[in-house]
Amino acid sequence: MDKIQAMQVFVRVAELQSFTRAAESMGLPKGSLSRQLQSLENMMGVRLLHRTTRRVQLTQDGQVYYERCRDVLATLDEMDSLFQHDPATLSGRLRVDMPVSMACDYVLPLLPGFMQNYPGIELELSSSDRRVDVVREGFDCVVRVGTLENSGLIARPLGKLTIINCASLDYLTRFGTPTTLDDLASHAMVHYSQQIGVQPPGFEFFDGKICRYIKTGGTVTVNSTETYRAACLAGLGIIQVPERGARKALKEKKLVEILPHFRAEPMPVSLIYPHRRNLTRRVQVFMDWLSQAMKHYVV
């Protein structure tokens, strides 16, 4: 048994909680993973995983072994490139997650330059409005927009996004342009909620000390930033979005900024990654590149 590969298999299965998904991500037969894990457990003399027909979970011993495996594998990975300073020698897989609009509007156009400098790196870029589980799903780092929860993960601040209020020209032609907060009583918002069924509090604005909310009309609620903007463009109501992401639509007059003196508080942008004694060099290089690239995206 190749113990290093068995440890890699164990870590991936533990993070994805699935032999099938782990096998797909590693390009190995599912049966091979199962045999390697069984051999590893036999050698260790403990059960590392609870297996059911629905999911795979770490045992108490498995959790301890998982944490040590991650440290050992990160150290081995770092040692492989310890004396290699040529970017072309960096290799391996990176799993990254970030919001769809950020990936499409800004990161992807810049990414060819990074990939050209580091041709040996394989990037798996996940983009959705769902908050991924960084550790369980095996992400090296993720970009989060908004206030962070106390997750035990390491947070690296990247800056803040200026939030503006927008509506389509068609909507304003039909319903008029609000100029005061009182005017919002007769206007509709497109509501955004990651969890459908949870009604957002309304129009948000920062009064210089705290965030306040004003109840408005609006009968459409979405859970995707892409449909949020699309609903606004279709004339369904007012939205509150990062200025950077709306810049093109504003320039093309598809969107119009309204109530510029009543903006929501800027939203923090953070780079989140698991606590490790030794981050691999490819992860460090990517995070440094992304931090520099984001300086032109955030304030």
On whether both 256 and 169 belong to a single domain, the answer is yes
On whether both 57 and 142 belong to a single domain, the answer is no
Taking every pair of C-alpha atoms in the chain, what is the biggest distance, in angstroms?
Answer: 73
On whether both 155 and 123 belong to a single domain, the answer is yes
**pLDDT computed for residue 1 by the predictor:** 73
On whether both 171 and 256 belong to a single domain, the answer is yes
Shortest CA distance to 183 belongs to which of 196, 163, 165?
165
**Residue 183 located in a structural domain:** yes
On whether both 142 and 15 belong to a single domain, the answer is no
Sign of the alpha-carbon dihedral angle for 8, 10, 15, 19: positive
Shortest CA distance to 276 belongs to which of 75, 60, 3?
75
**pLDDT computed for residue 139 by the predictor:** 85
Counting the structural domains of the chain, the total is 3
Pairing of strands 203-206, 211-214: antiparallel
On whether both 157 and 168 belong to a single domain, the answer is no
Shortest CA distance to 196 belongs to which of 224, 222, 229, 227?
222
On whether both 249 and 274 belong to a single domain, the answer is no
Q: Which residues contact 146 (CB under 8 A, 6 or more apart)?
A: 267, 268
**pLDDT computed for residue 245 by the predictor:** 85
What is the model's pTM? 0.71
pLDDT tens, residue order, the chain (299 aa): 788 999 999 998 988 888 888 888 888 888 888 899 999 999 989 999 998 877 888 998 998 888 888 778 877 776 766 665 566 667 778 889 999 888 988 899 999 999 999 988 889 899 887 888 887 777 889 999 988 877 778 899 999 999 999 999 999 999 999 999 999 999 999 999 887 777 788 999 998 889 999 999 888 999 888 899 999 999 999 999 999 889 989 999 999 999 999 999 999 999 999 866 557 788 889 999 999 988 888 87
**pLDDT computed for residue 131 by the predictor:** 84
**Residue 299 located in a structural domain:** no
On whether both 41 and 173 belong to a single domain, the answer is no
* Residues spanned by the domain of 57: 3-80
DSSP string across 116-164: HH-TTEEEEEEE-SS---TTTTT-SEEEEESPPP--S-EEEEEEEE-EE
CATH code, 69? 1.10.10.10
Q: Distance between the two ends of the chain, CA-based, in angstroms? A: 52
| Domain boundary residue, one of 61, 80, 99 | 80
On whether both 203 and 258 belong to a single domain, the answer is yes
- Helix (H) or strand (E) holding 266, with range, is none
On whether both 168 and 148 belong to a single domain, the answer is no
On whether both 255 and 284 belong to a single domain, the answer is no
- In the chain, which ranges are E strands? 49-51, 56-58, 92-98, 121-127, 141-145, 154-161, 163-168, 188-192, 203-206, 211-214, 217-222, 239-242, 255-258, 267-273
**pLDDT computed for residue 48 by the predictor:** 93
On whether both 93 and 232 belong to a single domain, the answer is no
